[in-house]
Chain A
Amino acid sequence: DTGVSQNPRHKITKRGQNVTFRCDPISEHNRLYWYRQTLGQGPEFLTYFQNEAQLEKSRLLSDRFSAERPKGSFSTLEIQRTEQGDSAMYLCASSLTLSYGTDTQYFGPGTRLTVL
């Protein structure tokens, strides 16, 4: 039984560089979420996919951020022209839609980004 996996686990980059993170959800899960978590805070919603469709994006998600989920399987989150304020833990979660609409999300281990 495999849970949600994320790669890389840690990423250190210089300001202005582009970075890409990958998330592999639980195989039968149709929903995939990206969150950002900074120290001392709870996760903040970034974006959400149902299958391959990106259905919602937070206002937190600037134009430098883009996410994809081709074929409704794995997802990538790219940050262009990174800034020091992008330093955070990026969490991916997946869930299976239940009939009454409240589904449990299962999280991956996260990717910790440090922008120097």
Chain B
Amino acid sequence: AQKITQTQPGMFVQEKEAVTLDCTYDTSDQSYGLFWYKQPSSGEMIFLIYQGSYDEQNATEGRYSLNFQKARKSANLVISASQLGDSAMYFCAMREATGNQFYFGTGTSLTVIP
């Protein structure tokens, strides 16, 4: 089974609107971390936001927030007030506390339309 599933290969959003990128995960560990990364066309993976499995509050970092629904095993990324520079690939990732690997999804390509 896939550890991380991102079901949206591509998304479009109007500039200044909000957009939600979906991510579901699969783990039997109680302790794990969930991460979102942005990868522009230049190729570098840029860390955006982190959510720990024991965190009760949804993580927020500026225009990014993580909608964490533990029972549903989902960790959706919400980008508010989209900007043209947000156009990129977005990857959801998970690390289980018992392991050393990061598991990445296949990514969602976001295009912001002026």
Interface residues of A (CB under 8 A from B): 33, 35, 40-45, 48, 55-56, 58, 89, 91, 93, 100-110, 112
Contact = CB atoms under 8 A, between A and B. Distances in A.
Given A40-B106, A45-B101, A48-B101, A107 B32 contact: no
Given A104-B50, A110-B43, A42 B104 contact: yes
Contact of B43 (A93, A104, A106, A112): A112
B101 to A, nearest CB: 4
A42 B97 contact: no
A105 B93 CA distance: 10
Given A40-B106, A102-B33, A55 B100 contact: yes
B47 A109 contact: no
Contacts of B50: 102, 104
A52 to B, nearest CB: 15
Contact of B100 (A56, A108, A110): A56
A100 B97 contact: yes
Given A56-B100, A102-B31, A109 B42 contact: yes
Contacts of A44: 104
B31 A91 contact: no
14 contacts: A42-B106, A45-B102, A48-B100, A48-B101, A55-B100, A56-B101, A101-B97, A102-B33, A103-B95, A104-B35, A107-B46, A108-B44, A109-B44, A112-B43
